[in-house]
Structures are given as C-alpha cells and as structure tokens.
Amino acid sequence: MAELNILEAIRAAMDEEMERDERVMILGEDVGRKGGVFGATEGLWAKYGDKRVLDTPLSEGMIAGAAMGAAVYGLRPVAEIQFADFVYPGFNQIVSEISRIHYRSNGTFSAPMVIRMPYGGGVHGALYHSQSNEAYFTHTVGLKIVAPGTPADAKGLLKSSIRDPDPVMFFEHKKTYRLFRAEVPDGDTVVPIGKAVVAREGKDLSIFCYGFMRTCALEAAETLAGEDGVEAEVVDLRTLRPLDLETILASVEKTGKALVVHEANRFGGFGAEIAAEISEKAFEHLDGPVTRLAGPEVPGVPFHHALEDWFMIGPPRIVDAARKLAAY
Amino acid sequence: MAELNILEAIRAAMDEEMERDERVMILGEDVGRKGGVFGATEGLWAKYGDKRVLDTPLSEGMIAGAAMGAAVYGLRPVAEIQFADFVYPGFNQIVSEISRIHYRSNGTFSAPMVIRMPYGGGVHGALYHSQSNEAYFTHTVGLKIVAPGTPADAKGLLKSSIRDPDPVMFFEHKKTYRLFRAEVPDGDTVVPIGKAVVAREGKDLSIFCYGFMRTCALEAAETLAGEDGVEAEVVDLRTLRPLDLETILASVEKTGKALVVHEANRFGGFGAEIAAEISEKAFEHLDGPVTRLAGPEVPGVPFHHALEDWFMIGPPRIVDAARKLAAY
Amino acid sequence: MASTDTRPRHAELGLGDADVLGMYRAMLLARAVDERMWLMQRAGKIAFIISGQGHEGAQVATSWPMRKGTDWMAPYYRSIASAMTFGMSAEDIITAHLAKGDDVSSGGRQMPGHYGGAPYNIISLSSPVGTQVLHAVGIAMGAWVRGDDVVAMTSFGEGTANQGEIHEAMNFAGVHNLPVIFVCENNGYAISVPLERQVAGGSVAARAAGYGMPGVVVDGGDVLACYGAAKEAHDRAKRGEGPTLIEARVVRLTSHSSDDDQRRYRDPSEVEALKERDPIPMFANELRANGILTDDGEETMRAEVKAEVNEASKRAEARPEPTPDDAHERVYADPIPGGGTAVPLAPVGGGGQ
Amino acid sequence: MASTDTRPRHAELGLGDADVLGMYRAMLLARAVDERMWLMQRAGKIAFIISGQGHEGAQVATSWPMRKGTDWMAPYYRSIASAMTFGMSAEDIITAHLAKGDDVSSGGRQMPGHYGGAPYNIISLSSPVGTQVLHAVGIAMGAWVRGDDVVAMTSFGEGTANQGEIHEAMNFAGVHNLPVIFVCENNGYAISVPLERQVAGGSVAARAAGYGMPGVVVDGGDVLACYGAAKEAHDRAKRGEGPTLIEARVVRLTSHSSDDDQRRYRDPSEVEALKERDPIPMFANELRANGILTDDGEETMRAEVKAEVNEASKRAEARPEPTPDDAHERVYADPIPGGGTAVPLAPVGGGGQ
Ligand SMILES: Cc1ncc(C[n+]2csc(CCOP(=O)(O)OP(=O)(O)O)c2C)c(N)n1
Ligand SMILES: Cc1ncc(C[n+]2csc(CCOP(=O)(O)OP(=O)(O)O)c2C)c(N)n1
Ligand SMILES: [Mg+2]
Ligand SMILES: [Mg+2]
C-alpha cells in the first residue's frame, strides 16, 4: 500500500483509468503542459498527449458542454473546473443538459462524465476561491455528487466516478489536497458511489460531515472523548447524491442525536436536506434537536486572515456544538 | 379596490413604479412591442418608450449583467427572464456578481434591481418550461427571494422589490397568472418583504407553502375541515429569503405539526430549509415528524398530460399528506 | 463555380437529377408534415407546434451532404426538415408531437419540437436555446480525439447566435479545427425581436472571421447555393480543415409558434411579402426551368407525399400513450454492479453510445 | 495621422509635453508600486500578487482620455496602472493588497488585485474572469437610457475574451451603440495556455466586425498608438457613435501571479525576449528622441516615484487591520423602513450611488 496525499490519489486515479480505458480523456484550463493549477494532472499530458489531456480556452460553458457532447458520442471525459467558484458559466450546461439528457431522451442517451472541482476555504482565497457550492448541484436530479475526505476515498471514488454511466460532480476540498498522507490500496480498487462510512464509532451523538469536515469532526470527536467523555460517532457521507440514508438513520437510531456540519452557508445548504430527512424519518429516535453547524450567512469567505478565521469551521466550533447537543 | 388577476397586478406594479420613479426601467426578451410572452409588460413600451422598456438580444447573461451595471450606476432595473428555466446562462452574473457586490465592496456599491421570472408547472411546458428552481437562489446570500400567491401580494411585493436597495428575485408561478381575480388595494400600497402571512387559521397542523401551492393548500384545508374535521393552518411564506421564522415557529408552536409543500423536487429543495429550521428550533413543540411534500425526484415535469398530472402536486396529495400527519 | 460552365447548377455541384428531385420531395414532405401538425394542433390533438415553414430549403440542402449512420446532428426546434433529411420519418416527427409513449425522441417526455433520435445520431434537444451547439462541438471533439471520420452539424437561429455558449463553441472549434458545421438559420426575428435589435452589425456570418473559420451567407431560398455551401463545409471538415459557419437567410412563414401571434409586432405587408421568398416555389421554378420537374412529376410527388403523411399520422395516432407507471424511470442509467469490475471497452460512436 | 505632419506624434494627437511626461511618470509609478508589492509578498506582508508589469503602457494610455468623476471603469486584476490613472493612489493600491480594514476597494474582504473604488467610479471587481465587461456595458446602458454624457471603459485579457459573456456584452453594446470602450490586453497567455490554443484565428480585434464596431490592434509598447486609439474610441462614444474594441498587444513580464511559475510552460529564451517589449524603456526612448525626457528629468522623476511609493507603503502599513466584529455586516443594504413610503428620487451616476 502506498502512502498518498489526496492530490496524488486523484492523479493516480486518473492515470490508472486512462491506462485501462482509452475513452477516458481530460479537459480543462491549464491541465496540459502546466499540469493544472494545483498539479492534479501533472505528468499526464506528457504521458497521454495533447488530445487526451486537452488545454481548453477559458470557457467553462464550453468545457462542460463539449464534455457532454463527447460523452454522448462515447468518450469518458473528465473535466476540470479550475475552482468550484468558476463553474457558474457552465451552470446552464450542467443543470439544463448534462443532468437531464438521460431522462429527457427516455433513456436513449446518457452523459457518462466527471466534473472535478476544487472547493472550500481556509486557503486565503477569499470570496471567489473558497466556495463550497455543492448545494447548487445536490438539488439537481440526474447528477451524482461525490466529496471525499481521505486519499483512499478520493482515489477509489474518482475511479468509480469515471466508470459511472451517469454524470458525476467530484468535489475536492483544496485544503485537504496536501493535508496528510494515508494508505491507499494498490491496484484497481474502487470505492462505491452512494455509500457513507462510519469514520469513528460512538454512542452519544452522530456527526455528519464530508470533505475537509471529516478531518475536523474526527479531531473534535477526540477532544470530546478526552475532555468530556462524550463518544461522538462520525459519519463521513462521501457521496452527497445519492445519499446513503440507511447509514445515516442507523447512526441516529443508535445515538439519538444528530449534528450536521458543513462549510457552506447554512440557509438552504446541503445540511438542511440531511437534517430534514433525519427529523422526518428518525423522529421517534431523536433525543435532541437535529442541529446544524455551518458557515456564516455572508456571501463568501472574506480574505483577511482574521476574517477568514472568523468564517471557517474547525474542530473547536464542532466541539462546542456537540457539547451543547450532548448536554441536551 | 380593483379586482385583478396576478398578471394584471404585476403589470400595475411596474406601471406605477415607473410613473413614480424615472430610474425604473424594464429589460428582457420580447418585453417591448410584444409586451412579453405572458403579457406582463403589455402597454408599457407604448407608454414609456423604447429605452425604458428595452427589448434585449437573446442573452440572459447580458440581461442580468447589464442590469447590474445599470443598478450600480443608479437605475432601478426590472429584468424579465422569459421562463425561470432559462435563467441559467445568467447564473454567473446573479450568483457571482449581483448577490455579492455589496459585501465584497464593503458596502460601498449595491445592486438594487429585480429579476422577474415565471416559474412552475402544470401548463404543459415539460422539462424546460415548468421548473421551480427557487432553491438555487434561496441558498445564495445577498439575494432576496419573493414568491407571491395572490394578486394583492404580487402587486405589493413587486412594488417593494423595485424599491428595495438589494437585488430581489421575483418568482411568478405562471399557472397563477390568470387563475383567479381578487381585490387589490388601490393606490400606493406595498407589502413588506420578509413577512409571511397566515392565510387560514387552524389548530391541528400547519401547512407551509408559497406561490401556486397557497391556492392548493387552502383548497386542501377546506376538504380537511369538511371531511375530516381537521383544521389546518395555512401559512403562505411569500418571501423565501429572508424567511419569516417568527411566523413559522409561532404556527408550529400552536399546532405541533408541520407539513411543508412545494412543487420543486424534494431533495435539497427549499422545503428542506424550512423543515430543518422547524425541527431544530421548535423541537419541543413537535407532536409529529416535520413532513415534506414535494415534486418527485425526476429531472423535470414530463410533457404528456398523464405524466404531468403524475408530477404535479394538487389539493388531493396535500390532503393525503395532511391526513397522515394529523393522525400521527 | 465557373460561370462559363454550361451545365445546370446542380450538375456543377455534382448532383444528379434524382438528387435534386429528392431534395425537392424532402422539402414537400417536411412542409406537408408541418402543415398537418398545425391542423392537428387546431384539432386539439397536438398541444403546441413550432414550425419550420420557410426554412425547408436551407434545412434539406445543408443536411443533404451528411452521411447517415456516421455523421451526427444537433438540431433545433425548427429542424423538422433537417431531422427528416437525416433519418427521422414523418411518423417519427408526428409521433413526437403527439407525445406518444414509444416516440423515438423522448417517449412523450418532451414538448413538441424537441428532436432527437439515438438510431439516427441526432442528439436529444432541450429548450434553452443554443446549448446544442456545444454538444455538436463536443461530438466533433470526440471524433477528433479518437481519429474517427465523423462530421457534426448543428443549427440554430440568429437570435440564439447571441448566447455566449455559441461564441465559446465556435471559438473552441476554430482553435482545434474540429469537424463541425454551424448552420445559422437567420429568419430575421427572435420571437418578436427583429434582427437589427438582436445582431449588432446585422450579420452572423461576419463573426466567423473572429473564430478563424470561413463564414458564408447564403440565400435560404436558393437551395443549391445552400447545398454548395454545406457540401464544401462537409468536405473541409472531412479533410481536417476545420469548421464552417453558414448563415442561411430564410423566412419564417408562420408566427413564432402556436402560442404566438406575429400580427402583434409585424406589419401585414411584411408578412405578405414573405411568401415570395418561400423556398418551395423558388426551387420548383428552378427545377422546372431546367426541365427536371414537370407538372406530372410534381403532381405524382405531391400525391405520394400526401399519402405518406396520411399514413404516418394514422400510424402515429395509433401508437400507445405513455403511462405514469414508469415516469420515475430512466433518471439515472443503471449503476455499475459491484466494485472494481472493469468496464468493457465498448466501441465509440453511433447510436448514442 | 498624416505622415507629412512634422510635429512629434504626441502633438499630432493633441498632447502637450507635460501630458506625455505625465503618462510616463504614471507608468513608472505603477511599475514601482507593482515591484514593491512583489517585495512585500516575498517578505510575507502581502499574501498574493498578480502583476501588471508589461501592461503599463497600454493601461496608462487607454485610461488617459477617461474623465475622472464622470466616466466609469470596470478594470481587471492586472489593472494597477489603469486604476491609478483613473484615480486610485499608490497608497490605495498597496492598502488593498495589505487587506487593511479601511481599504477603499473592499475593506480587506477581497484578495489582492480586486480593484474597485466608489469615489473613483471604479466598479468593484470579482474573480470569475470577464464578468466586469457586462457591468461596463450596463453602466453605459444606464447612461444612454438617462441621456448622461458618460463613457464606460473595461479591460480584460485575451483568454477572458473567450468567455460567452464577453460576446453577449459586445453584441449588446453594438446593437444600441452604447458608449463603452473594450480594451483587451493581449499578453499571449492565459496562465499557461498560449494565444493559439485560446483565440481561434489569433486576433481578438477581428471579432469586432461581428459586433458592428471598429476593432483596433495596437502595439502595447507603443504608448502613443494606444492613446490615439483610446482617444478616438472615447470621442466616438461621446458622439453617440457607439463602442470600440481595442486589442493592445502587450507582454506579461512576470509569471501569471505569485502562485505561478512560468518556467514550467515558457522557454527561457521567450521570457528573456519579452524585455525588449517592455513599454517603459520603449516610451522613454521615444520621449528622449523627441527631447522631452532628459537624464536629469528622468532621475528626478524616478526619485519622486520612489519617495511616493515609500511614503505610500509606510502609510498603508500603518492602517488598521479589519476585525471580525463586523464581518457579517454589509451583506444587505439597509432595509427600507415601513411600507408604502416613497423612495426619494436621488440623482443617478457618480460614486456608486
Ligand atoms: C435560453 C433561452 N432563453 C429564451 C428562450 C425563449 N425562446 C425560445 S425561441 C426564442 C427566439 C429564438 O430566436 P432565433 O434564435 O432567431 O430562432 P427562430 O425561432 O427565429 O428560428 C426565445 C427567446 C429559450 N428557449 N431559451
Ligand atoms: C471564470 C474563471 N475561470 C477561471 C479562472 C482562473 N483564471 C484566473 S486568470 C486566468 C487566465 C486569464 O487569462 P487572460 O484573460 O489572458 O488574462 P491575463 O491573466 O493573461 O492578463 C484564469 C484561467 C477565473 N478567474 N475565472
Ligand atoms: Mg430567428
Ligand atoms: Mg493573457
């Protein structure tokens, strides 16, 4: 087993899938010779050439739309959007076209493709290089939404996403890219889309999270265990759509309390869906209000480090929220 | 007091605001000589001329972006998007720019403008002329979101929206345009943004709704009262952002049960936010699970009338859901 | 075309008499289907119609060089004649408008006018205008990446030409010389907004220079000119020389759709004058002048076409309605069972993969 | 410009010696601010810098005709020299990069390079490239609707020129002859992607024809040529004759930003050769040849500039940091109190209302 960070895991997934399936191609801004602004595609241009690792003009609409055309034609495009914040010029193609072509054609066409997007804050990127905009996509029927939190999940889920017959949006929290290394199974190991994982067992309350928040929640759980004797169960959703309700409800049935954590602003965020589902489907198991902890209601992460720190959710705020809920 | 339908009320609101404030202008596709595809701007081109009622090229990005520039410059643009389904080419301008310029400029610029959009199904419009896509916007900090359900609210809220110093997205359910006439106060009467209204008092459960669903919920409530002796309180939210939590929670405290209804698909829909808020903030008052009734998880309203009927939410399904919740 | 050539124009272009008669027949058939559907709309059988009347010459001619089963098409809502030239039958078109359950385009899920057909390499169309143009470019990109001999063609109106995605599509196609043909059917109106309020400078073809590709304006009433431009574009694409933008100046003989009334924004005299630019009599005149079309020939043809449309609508009407039973199906493709299993390397291209 | 005119070029253009010296000084100052900020970035005081080095000639020259307090600007992230020419001080620029709490652009909320200033009629910039172009067009539309004598100017890179919104903006401006100037600063790269992979046909100005407006290519090293094009564009806009697209061929002397290393995708020899197209020595040579700039004059000017930058950075560094106390404020403007109260009819234009 190799020790990889998330960025390396993502690169390895693309490399392996391009090796085994010549329909797989990469397109995006600066993905070729430069290897991507974060280096996710480093080395692939040299290995697979100019066409299969294609530098596009600066047009996200074009990237999404052309990827869809190629997917319908029979390729397996992996499109990189340089920052999730810059996906909006491609929103029309994603929401009107990519998500709907299978249904609207009565199942006779489909768009098997992946859109990879670095998202999230804490990297001094301010309003437009820090967004967690997953909720715009999780509401969109026809898309699958993945947001891994570990190198093994990043690799295994990206491989699954590339093979998936449906369009997948793949959210990579950019703060996690080089955050830590961990073991990644060698060889052709995939992680299935649609399965959450219990990252830490606990009996007192459940914390639901994904992406970078997995790391924060696990750290918070250790603090809670050490300082409060509270055993938090941490559930890493990994896939946001389709949501693994079975694992979520099983956890709530066990602990009776649910804390939902994400970095995006709270109002209408993805946490609302999780909270609403739990409160409807696990009503009789709840020993306390389903609680959401989310980014503040401002239009983005502000730049200055003091303001950014104010915005970001880290282990201490999770500990606070969990303490309150545990004491309920 | 005049009896107007919603379309006439909307037209009257624009007319009056253009009369009283020469900064108000209208722009959009076919809003001029044709008077809009639904007739909302009929007569205004002849009255206010070619510049203040401006037919634009077919580019929603341009409509949104130019409206923002004009708003920052000092005008009060009212942009029409022909169908809410066609707003996505303008998504980047709305979400990146219009919603964020006030915050990002530290309050030194703002974009006082309105985007009017006909939304909703039940009009044989299929996947792309029926969408209820409010949840893409309610999650967006910096926007205000309005969705009236009566002629008086349509007029009063549109007038408030045009005067509002912030950008407002104004959702007009196209099935309600000519659905009924009702009294609209004469003269300069506005309805404040951010206030829900109890459309029908009840004690057994609360139904939360907006737009066309108000009419459906009220009809369902009559059935419930007549056939089941169940008294449903119907709360018409009218404004989705900022949400009038006070009225919502007061109703749930009274009835102990909440049914949230909307036409958009359920997963990640706006109902999730309402449900999550209620379940967190009214936890101790709940006598049953907060229940959501929403459109099915398909990528849009299918065309054939049998399929469309299958999709749409009407009074009978609200009655069913309310019965189940009332019996809990 | 050398003007000293004494052959008729179609021969200069490499077309035989049968070809041009075939083109003419295709135009008649598309028109007949179109007219029949307006009748069905008025009779309450079809909920909505958006018409191709006046566009048939440009559509048949520009689609004519496309190779069925090999090339791809991303049409728009007026593309009745294009879609039919590329393989859809009269019955297919009418079935789609009736929203029948086994309609090849969408099984009754989409509104009339939303063409598509996996068996024909016609990619399913949505409603937001212009999105299909990027799909054609994506198909061309796919063919270029794989080294396939495939050309993609797409069509759209002059109003739609002002959507940003069109610009992005053409520029990308120009950068890589992708095998794609852009056909702008300029009928002078986008619903009610006239060309001069819509397209700065008044010419869509003029934009081609900014994308490093040829831009050609053709009279949509001149079928052979349209064909010549499309043939040249198709040849260029096949030779790897890249995309072409064809702007066909056509007339919209009807209101925008059955929901519109063009008398609200168009002069009666203007509407009246359009008839003179109807491509069907214009092409007929040319064929008659060359002695290719006779009164008898035309009469037979029209009778055949009428019979075909009668037959097609009868069969289409008899098809099954969709039922809500499976309206929630085919939202996602089947999930891949199990983890780690290799996806078989399927051949690409053809029939919606 | 008649070549028989024997006056120096700037005189032909109606510029006095003081004007051209002023322009040169503005270029020096912008460069000095820019260089200082790289030093501050390396010293850890500034988190990030995206540079205008190599663009100063085009920027100062195209901004020069703009009327402060009347006209509007929608700049981009390289627009240090444009923003300074239009009113921002060296201190404003450095303060913004230090993300100080009273920074005029954003109070420390935005990243460096996101210019804006209500007192200067510079509309606040975001990061998604190209969005500002529509804002300039919207401002021009507002002025046109109101009948105000206002010109809007906007700038962007050649990579950005391929965003759909640019197309939509230019077309709309062309349709209504709006008073707006589009300045594309073509430096040959969009981060790592070279012009030939980015702009089909290689010329952004060539697109102007498709929008019914003049498109002008100027050498960004030729300051007076840039000025001439901008002056003409400004005059046209004021006369109600509509927009102009100016493509200035400039050089990017630095990596894309402090996060980039251009050696990964650019030949050392190519980078070396750029220096020959640095507009500062080029303009200096011209001014010297005309006897306007002397060694002494230049020395004094450089000393002044240096002192100004020293002073500006000292003052900027001393400004207060923002505090999180009000980070949740100014999300929305104040709500209108009460219902039914009429909004007073405020004057439009100027100072971000
Ligand atoms: C993105 C989007 N905006 C608006 C519409 C509504 N709409 C449908 S057709 C049309 C006019 C199209 O005009 P043009 O492109 O010239 O094509 P034509 O109908 O004239 O053939 C409009 C505005 C739409 N379908 N999609
Ligand atoms: C919509 C969007 N996509 C991607 C980016 C990332 N990005 C920032 S600058 C840039 C290159 C811009 O190139 P160009 O327009 O030529 O301007 P230059 O930097 O060369 O002056 C890219 C891709 C962005 N800011 N916005
Ligand atoms: Mg048209
Ligand atoms: Mg550049």
Last residue of a domain, one of A184, A206, A231: A184
Residue A232 and residue A87 in one domain: no
Nearest to D140 by CA among D66, D56, D247, D216: D66
Number of other CB atoms surrounding residue D329 within 10 Å = 11
Please report the pLDDT score of residue D5 as a whole number: 65
Nearest to B299 by CA among D105, D139, C331: C331
Residue A155 and residue A205 in one domain: no
Residue A137 and residue A257 in one domain: no
- Interatomic CA distance for residues C313 and C194, integer angstroms: 35
In three state form, how does the secondary structure of C244-288 look?
Answer: EEEEEECCCCCCCCCCCCHHHCCCHHHHHHHHHHCHHHHHHHHHH
**pLDDT tens string A263-302:** 999 999 999 999 999 999 999 999 999 999 999 999 999 9
- Interatomic CA distance for residues A236 and A156, integer angstroms: 15
What integer best gives the mean pLDDT of chain C? Answer: 93
- Interatomic CA distance for residues A245 and A263, integer angstroms: 21
Residue A129 and residue A269 in one domain: no
CA distance B271 to chain D (A): 24
Total structural domains within chain A: 2
The catalytic residue positions of A are: 129
- Interface with B, mutate which of D76, D149, D165, D329 (most B CBs under 10 A): D165
Question: A288 alpha carbon to ligand 3 midpoint, in Å?
Answer: 59
Ligand 2 pocket check for A85: Cβ under 6 Å: no
Cβ of D200 and C209 within 8 Å? no
Please report the pLDDT score of residue D4 as a whole number: 62
Ligand 2 pocket check for A288: Cβ under 6 Å: no
Please report the pLDDT score of residue B1 as a whole number: 81
CATH number, residue A323: 3.40.50.920
> For ligand 2, atom 19, which residue shows the shortest CA distance?
D190
**pLDDT tens string A98-132:** 999 999 999 999 999 999 999 999 999 999 999 99
Which pairing describes strands A76-80 and A114-119: parallel, antiparallel, or unpaired?
Answer: parallel
In a domain, A249, yes or no: yes
Probe target for ligand 1 pocket from C187, C189, C191, C247, with the most ligand atoms within 8 Å of CB = C191
Confidence of residue C6 (pLDDT cuts 50, 70, 90): confident
A140 contact residues in B (CB cutoff 8 A)? 268, 299
Cβ of C128 and A96 within 8 Å? yes
Please report the pLDDT score of residue C337 as a whole number: 40
- Interatomic CA distance for residues D247 and D218, integer angstroms: 6
From A82-91, A168-177, C289-298, C337-346, the region with the lowest mean pLDDT: C337-346
Question: D12 alpha carbon to ligand 1 midpoint, in Å?
Answer: 49
* Protein residues with C-beta less than 5 angstroms from the ion ligand 3: C 157-159, 187, 190
B89 contact residues in C (CB cutoff 8 A)? 128, 163-165
- Can you list the positions of beta strands (E) in chain C? 72-74, 152-157, 180-186, 189-190, 193-194, 215-219, 244-249
Put simply, whether B58 touches C (Cβ < 8 Å) is yes
**pLDDT tens string C169-186:** 999 999 999 999 999 999
> For ligand 2, atom 25, which residue shows the shortest CA distance?
D128
Please report the pLDDT score of residue A1 as a whole number: 81
Which option is the CATH number for D10-254+263-319: 3.40.50.300, 3.30.530.20, 3.30.300.30, 3.40.50.970?
A: 3.40.50.970
Question: C210 alpha carbon to ligand 2 midpoint, in Å?
Answer: 20
Q: How far is CA B4 from the centre of its chain?
A: 18
Contacts of C325 (CB under 8 A, 6+ apart): none
Interface of A with D in 83-142 (CB under 8 A): 85-86, 88-89, 124-129
Contacts of A91 (CB under 8 A, 6+ apart): A136, B88, B91, B92
CA distances from D318 to B98, B106, C127 (A): 33, 20, 56
ipTM of predicted assembly, 2 dp = 0.97
Judge whether residue C349 has pLDDT over 50.
no
Question: Hunting for tokens 């109890």 — which residue is that?
Answer: B198
Cβ of A93 and C334 within 8 Å? no
Q: Which two tokens stand for residue B318?
A: 């609200």
* Protein residues with C-beta less than 5 angstroms from the ion ligand 4: D 157-159, 187, 190
Put simply, whether A39 touches D (Cβ < 8 Å) is no
3-state helix, strand, coil in chain C (%, to 5): 45, 10, 45
- Interatomic CA distance for residues C329 and C310, integer angstroms: 33
> B58 near B86, Cβ under 8 Å?
no
Residue A132 and residue A221 in one domain: no
Backbone phi, psi, residue A326, to 5°:
-60, -35
Ligand 2 pocket check for D51: Cβ under 6 Å: no
The catalytic residue positions of B are: 129
Confidence of residue C340 (pLDDT cuts 50, 70, 90): very low
In a domain, A189, yes or no: no
Put simply, whether C174 touches D (Cβ < 8 Å) is yes
Q: How far is CA D34 from the centre of its chain?
A: 13
Confidence of residue C3 (pLDDT cuts 50, 70, 90): low
User: Positive or negative, the Cα torsion across A255, A261, A265, A271?
Assistant: negative
Interface of D with C in 145-164 (CB under 8 A): 162-164
Nearest to A32 by CA among A42, A22, A17, A24: A42
Question: Hunting for tokens 């703002």 — which residue is that?
Answer: B110
- Interatomic CA distance for residues D140 and D138, integer angstroms: 5
Residue A180 and residue A201 in one domain: no
- Interatomic CA distance for residues C72 and A69, integer angstroms: 10
> D56 near D27, Cβ under 8 Å?
yes
**pLDDT tens string A145-204:** 999 999 999 999 999 999 999 999 999 999 999 999 999 998 899 999 999 999 999 999
Residue A245 and residue A106 in one domain: no
Ligand 1 pocket check for C159: Cβ under 6 Å: yes
**pLDDT tens string C278-315:** 999 999 999 999 999 999 999 999 999 999 999 999 99
CATH number, residue B15: 3.40.50.970
Residue B151 and residue B63 in one domain: yes
| Percent of chain C whose pLDDT exceeds 90 | 92
In a domain, A89, yes or no: yes
Residue B207 and residue B240 in one domain: yes
- Chain A residue with CA closest to D47: the answer is A124
Cβ of C128 and B303 within 8 Å? no
What are the start-end ranges of the H helices in B25-134?
44-52, 60-73, 91-92, 101-104
Judge whether residue C335 has pLDDT over 60.
no
Q: Which atom of ligand 1 is nearest to the CA of C190?
A: 13
Number of other CB atoms surrounding residue C296 within 10 Å = 8
Residue B295 and residue B206 in one domain: yes
Q: Please give the residue range of the domain that contains residue A279.
A: 197-327
B143 contact residues in D (CB cutoff 8 A)? none
Sequential pLDDT tens for chain B (328 residues): 899 999 999 999 999 999 999 999 999 999 999 999 999 999 999 999 999 999 999 999 999 999 999 999 999 999 999 999 999 999 999 999 999 999 999 999 999 999 999 999 999 999 999 999 999 999 999 999 999 999 999 999 999 999 999 999 999 999 999 999 999 998 899 999 999 999 999 999 999 999 999 999 999 999 999 999 999 999 999 999 999 999 999 999 999 999 999 999 999 999 999 999 999 999 999 999 999 999 999 999 999 999 999 999 999 999 999 999 999 9
Put simply, whether B302 touches C (Cβ < 8 Å) is yes
> For ligand 2, atom 18, which residue shows the shortest CA distance?
D157
Question: A132 alpha carbon to ligand 4 midpoint, in Å?
Answer: 28
Query: Which residue stretches of chain D have pLDDT < 70?
Result: 1-5, 334-353
Cβ of B73 and D114 within 8 Å? no
> D97 near D46, Cβ under 8 Å?
yes
Ligand 2 pocket check for D287: Cβ under 6 Å: no
Residue A179 and residue A241 in one domain: no
> Which chains have 3+ CB pairs within 8 A of B?
A, C, D
